[in-house]
């Protein structure tokens, strides 16, 4: 649709609305919105064309409103609102369609993980069946290898918490080096679970909660060695996260700039999320475990832990890599980013000023309403 075609269309529709006595703000908004929306739907030239389309629509609407004598503050506002809404329509549809795709992919990912877990289980059972036909040491080797393979995939199989819980119970019953053994159990479980997928703050939080809660529940159910178990589980989970963080550095070489930025953000909140998880488990634990976990979290908050230091170092390395990626993108991209930042700042100031004006107007309206009510009340008296 050309500029003249848009103008003719908007002006003509406003004339028709005037003849039928339907020049409402709603009608003006709809006329402008539909015109811009149609132009955007036809356009393939991006933001420049969109800007031009909105300008042309507003110009045309103002011409039409002046012609029919309906140029008021309300109708002008309706024109602007309609033009902006029309500009958004195509984008809104695209965003909604993309969200549907994302949701579909999330469902598909869940299904694929379930299928993978099923395939893994069947594979492990197949290997176990093979061992049943053998005897002696070979059978034991196969059985041991199957168990080790399963241990590497407890998160995928949904067995992390229960595996830790059972392992900690065994450690408690053995009565030997309980704290150290639990620490190793928690550390190995955390590291293996994190290695099963992409390193993210969300996964760290989920896995840390499973490992810690599994250990605490084991201690509370057996009624023994609660202090040693809780301390060991806390230390071990930290160590497992630290080990996972160290391995992240080896994989960041292949990360895109956005991936690096997300990884940096995740690393910066790792310890905070871990301590938040610790306190969450403390709240739902018995008094002994609750006090120990709370104290451990408080102490870790005050000191510079290995987890905090490792996460900070890894985040700094990711930041350096992000910087390198930005340099590779060229100085022009950096300039564009700077201009965008200034534009955002200017817009924020403008919007802030408008928000204040609106708020003041609302307050003023409230006072006026109160004064009018008071005058009315005095008259009635």
Say if residue 166 is in the same domain as residue 77: no
Are both 74 and 168 inside the same structural domain?
Answer: no
- On whether residue 159 sits in a domain, the answer given is yes
pLDDT-wise least confident of 13-22, 49-58, 107-116 = 107-116
238 & 167 share domain: yes
CB 244 within 8 A of CB 192: no
Has residue 357 been placed in a domain?
no
* Owning domain of residue 284: 152-332
Q: Judge whether 364 lies within some domain.
A: no
Model confidence at 256, pLDDT cuts 50, 70, 90, reads very low
Average pLDDT over residues 121-133: 79
Least confident of 44-48, 83-87, 193-197: 44-48
**265 and 165 within one domain:** yes
Supply the pLDDT for residue 77: 92
Confidence of residue 1 (pLDDT cuts 50, 70, 90): low
Asked whether residue 377 is assigned to any structural domain, the reply reads: no
Q: Considering only 127-136, 145-154, 180-189, which range has the smallest mean pLDDT?
A: 145-154
Smallest CA-to-CA distance from 162 within 104, 201, 213 is with 213
Identify the sign of the CA torsion 214, 215, 216, 217.
positive
Claim to verify: residue 324 and residue 211 sit in the same structural domain: yes
Boundary-marking domain end, from 312, 332, 352: 332
172 and 73 both lie in a single domain:
no
Contact 156, 114 (CB under 8 A): no
> Are residues 74 and 164 located together in one domain of the fold?
no
Residue 105 has what pLDDT?
A: 83
Do 85 and 162 fall into the same domain?
Answer: no
pLDDT over 90 for what percent of the chain?
2
- At 283 the three-state DSSP class reads helix
Shared domain for 92 and 177, answered yes or no, is: no
pLDDT at res. 255: 47
In terms of domains, do 64 and 166 share one? Answer: no
The answer to whether residues 67 and 165 belong to one domain is no
Q: Are residues 227 and 82 in the same domain?
A: no
Give the global pTM. 0.56
Structural domain includes residue 365: no
Contacts 24+ apart (CB under 8 A), 60-66: 60/6, 60/7, 60/9, 60/10, 60/11, 60/35, 61/10, 61/14, 61/28, 61/31, 61/32, 63/7, 63/11, 64/10, 64/11, 64/13, 64/14, 64/15, 65/14, 65/28
Q: How many domains is the chain partitioned into structurally? A: 2
> Is 340 within a domain?
no
């Amino acid at each position: 649709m050309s500029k003249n075609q848009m103008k003719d269309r908007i002006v003509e529709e406003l004339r028709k609305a005037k003849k039928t006595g339907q020049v409402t703000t709603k009608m003006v908004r709809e006329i402008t919105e539909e015109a811009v929306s149609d132009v955007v739907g036809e356009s393939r030239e991006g933001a420049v064309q969109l800007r031009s389309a909105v300008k042309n629509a507003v110009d045309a609407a103002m011409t039409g409103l002046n012609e029919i004598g309906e140029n008021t503050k309300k109708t002008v506002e309706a024109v602007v609102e309609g033009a902006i809404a029309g500009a958004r329509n195509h984008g809104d549809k695209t965003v909604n369609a993309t969200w549907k795709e994302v949701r579909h992919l999330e469902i598909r990912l869940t299904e694929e993980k379930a299928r993978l877990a099923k395939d893994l289980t069947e594979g492990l059972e197949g290997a176990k069946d093979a061992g049943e036909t053998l005897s002696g040491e070979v059978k034991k080797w196969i059985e041991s290898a199957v168990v080790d393979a399963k241990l590497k995939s407890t998160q995928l199989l949904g067995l992390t918490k229960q595996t830790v819980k059972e392992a900690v119970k065994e450690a408690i019953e053995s009565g030997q080096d309980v704290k150290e053994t639990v620490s190793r159990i928690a550390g190995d479980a955390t590291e293996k679970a994190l290695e099963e997928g992409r390193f993210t703050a969300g996964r760290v939080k989920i896995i840390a909660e499973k490992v810690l809660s599994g250990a605490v529940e084991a201690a509370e159910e057996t009624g023994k060695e609660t202090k040693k178990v809780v301390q060991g589980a806390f230390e071990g989970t930290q160590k497992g996260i630290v080990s996972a963080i160290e391995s992240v550095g080896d994989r960041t070489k292949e990360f895109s700039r956005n991936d690096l930025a997300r990884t940096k953000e995740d690393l910066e909140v790792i310890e905070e999320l871990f301590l938040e998880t610790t306190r969450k488990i403390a709240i739902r634990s018995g008094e002994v475990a609750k006090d120990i976990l709370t104290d451990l979290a408080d102490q870790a908050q005050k000191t510079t832990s290995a987890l905090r230091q490792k996460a900070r170092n890894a985040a700094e390395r990711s930041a350096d890599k992000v910087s390198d990626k930005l340099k590779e993108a060229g100085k022009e991209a950096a300039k564009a980013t700077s201009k965008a930042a200034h534009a955002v700042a200017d817009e924020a100031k403008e919007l802030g000023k408008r928000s204040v004006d609106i708020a003041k107007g609302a307050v003023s309206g409230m006072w006026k309403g109160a004064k009018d009510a008071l005058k009315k009340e005095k008259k009635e008296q």
